[in-house]
Amino acid sequence: MDEPDVLNRLKDAGLDVLTCMQCGVCSGSCPSGRYTSLNTRRIVRKAQVNTDMLHDKELWMCATCYNCQERCPRGIRIVDAIFTIRTIAVHEGIMLSEHRKVSHLLLKHGHAVPINDETRQKREKLGMEPLPETVHKYPQALKDVQKLLRSCGFDKLVAEK
């Protein structure tokens, strides 16, 4: 299978990484980079020269704090670029197993963090109804959400490959 063309996909999304001058302001501002191998400047570099990066685990170390994007002297929308590269990876079937699990929670419950017994009890202790006024309480609303997710092909996207 052909490698997806990251650089062109970024361009299609209106994201120009070619203006990057490799100054390193982004990586210097990155809180995650203090603790991990994430090097934001290198991610932008890799996208510029279009090398394979879809398997880089660093893509998932970004906490989306937007420091880099706010400070980039070239105004590059770095976080948006990381989102786009992640999307390409996920569509190639590359994602963290924990993220696959969260996706299945969304498909089943319409919530990424569904209710549990402990919280039901906390709600009752507060004098609230055990279930909130969300899809948890309205089955038809949950069906609508599931229909939307299927319409977007999200169920197939996150299915175990």
Distance CA 70, CA 88 (A): 24
Q: How many CA atoms lie within 13 A of 67 on its CB side?
A: 15
Rounded alpha-carbon distances, angstroms, from residue 3 to 49, 84, 91: 14, 15, 12
**Among residues 35 and 160, whose Cβ is nearest to other proteins?**
35
Distance CA 43, CA 54 (A): 10
- The number of residues making up the chain comes to 161
104 to 143, contacts with ligand SF4 by CB under 6 A? none
Distance CA 24, CA 116 (A): 44
**Among residues 48 and 119, whose Cβ is nearest to ligand SF4?**
48
Task: Give min distance, CB of 30 to ligand SF4, in A.
Answer: 3
Tokens 């299978």 appear where? Answer: 1
Q: Is 21 in the site for other proteins (CB under 8 A)?
A: no
Instruction: Give the binding site for ligand SF4 (CB under 6 A).
Output: 20-26, 29-33, 40-41, 44, 62-68, 72-74, 76, 78-79
Residues that bind other proteins (CB under 8 A): 31-32, 34-36, 60-67, 69-70, 79, 82-83, 86-87, 90-91, 95-96, 98-99, 102-103, 106, 110-116, 119, 122-123, 125-128, 132-138, 140-142, 144-145, 147-149, 151-154, 157-158
